[in-house]
Amino acid sequence: MLNETHDPALRSWVASANLAGADFPIQNLPFGVFRRQASHEQWRIGVAIGAEILDLSKAAEYLGELDQASLAACRAENLNQLMSLTPAVWSTIRLQLSRMLREGSSLQAELTPLLLAQAEAEMALPAAIGDYTDFYASIFHATNIGSMFRPDNPLLPNYKYVPIGYHGRASSIRVSGASIKRPHGQTKAPDAEVPTFGPCRLLDYELELGFWVGQGNELGQPVSIEQAEHHVFGVCLLNDWSARDIQAWEYQPLGPFLAKNFISSISPWVVTLEALAPYRCPAFERPADDPAPLAYLDSPANRSAGGLDLTLEVSLQTASMRQAGQAAEVLSLGNFSDMYWTFAQMLTHHTSNGCNLEPGDLLGSGTISGPSKNSRGCLMELTWRGQEPIQLSNGEQRRFLQAGDEVIIRGWCGASDGLKIGLGECRGVILD
């Protein structure tokens, strides 16, 4: 639903929010958790506006008529309490923030002292993550990976019926900027009789979108496809770092384990579904000979607007590039609209057996890949299992990640050089 907060003509009295191409214009207003750098201040909720952060814990008194539970949620140390409230409350808070931060607001003098430059802030995980589930929602990614290992049968028969997923490890999720230590594990060379234990050689990134669960559901009570989006608070960028050689040896018969749970990185800002409303699009158009989703995964609203026109970019800066002052180089550019399964279908299927989700749970989309080579969302696909190395402009090659490499993921809706709803960045440097 569109409302006055989506008006593209809105401008903020925070000047940096009005710059063309800014990630956080007044039409965005994402939530995060911050404190001043090099301080021992209490973590608190902030709202990104331009290059600044509005301290919500202090600005809450200006939000108008909110009940005590809503005010307490705005003053909490993380977003879990806010996520547990209703979509109507989320919308009310967003509307009041928009009015407070617009040009001409009578509150500019009171709110200006409550701003902190993002460059001076330290960011934390937005919420305490109880559980993390990673899906496999891109048919292009699934087909590419399947083609490498099962050329005669790349896509397993259940894929077009079931939003495939697995339960990941919440304890190893870190906010953008955390360094990536190369994992150790068992691997087995094709010509070896037994496996060996040692450092991963085929370290990879995975471009994903994360979905934050808002209101949960009771154990035994599924969430219908019509209600699924009411249980999604917002989205973030997600890099599910992967050890491909460890994965190849361990994934059968139960799927990913140590190859996936050594670390996952997320962007610090949670962009609400309401902020993304102008960029909704139809769900992925399935080929005529594909089966229709089963009834519990299908609805007119999901078909017409279950997709999201969100551009996603992956860049790489090697240690040599950094030393030479060279900018990161774009490796791929994709779009979330290419995903076979929508996030409403993922959440609905997740709860279809009565599984209970809770506020602050994180769902990953799985690698976001499109139909073209330059829209593939991981090195495993871009280099076709290392057989087709990427040639960088400084003469270096990459099959998989090396020490000193920094992977930068960005995402946005709208025009990259105009009004856009940005998700910020998700960064990570390989230590060794």
Name the binding residues for substrate: 136, 150, 247, 251, 367
Residues 87 and 214 sit within 8 Å (Cβ to Cβ): yes
What is the pLDDT at residue 276?
98
Of 58-67, 318-327, 383-392, 402-411, least confident by mean pLDDT is 58-67
What is the pLDDT at residue 1?
83
Name the binding residues for Mg(2+): 240, 260, 264
In tens, the pLDDT along 19-30 reads 999 999 999 999
Domain 4-124 belongs in CATH node 2.30.30.230: yes
| Residue 230 falls in the annotated catalytic set | no
d(CA 290, CA 298): 14
Q: What is the mean pLDDT of residues 34-59?
A: 97
Residue 104 pLDDT greater than 90, yes or no: yes
Q: Vertex 190, ends 184 and 195: CA angle to 5°?
A: 40
Q: Where are the domains of the chain?
A: 4-124, 132-430
What is the pLDDT at residue 252?
84
- Mean pLDDT for the chain? 97
What is the pLDDT at residue 64?
85
3-class SS of residue 96: helix
Which member of 141, 231, 349, 350 is catalytic? 141
Which residues in 256-310 belong to E strands, given as ranges?
264-266, 271-272, 280-281, 307-308
What percent of the chain has a predicted confidence (pLDDT) above 90? 96
Sequence-separated (6 or more) residues with CB below 8 Å from residue 281:
305, 307, 308, 309, 337
Confidence of residue 183 (pLDDT cuts 50, 70, 90): very high
In tens, the pLDDT along 223-273 reads 999 999 999 999 999 999 999 999 999 988 888 899 999 999 999 999 999
Residue 417 pLDDT greater than 90, yes or no: no
The CATH architecture of the domain made up of 132-430 is Alpha-Beta Complex (3.90)
Could you tell me which of 121, 110, 89 has the C-alpha nearest to residue 230? 89
What percent of the chain has a predicted confidence (pLDDT) above 70? 100
Name the binding residues for Ca(2+): 134, 206, 208, 240
Give yes or no on whether 4-124 and 132-430 have one common fold. Answer: no
- Entry field: residues in the chain: 432
In tens, the pLDDT along 358-414 reads 999 999 999 999 999 999 999 999 999 999 999 999 999 999 999 999 999 999 999
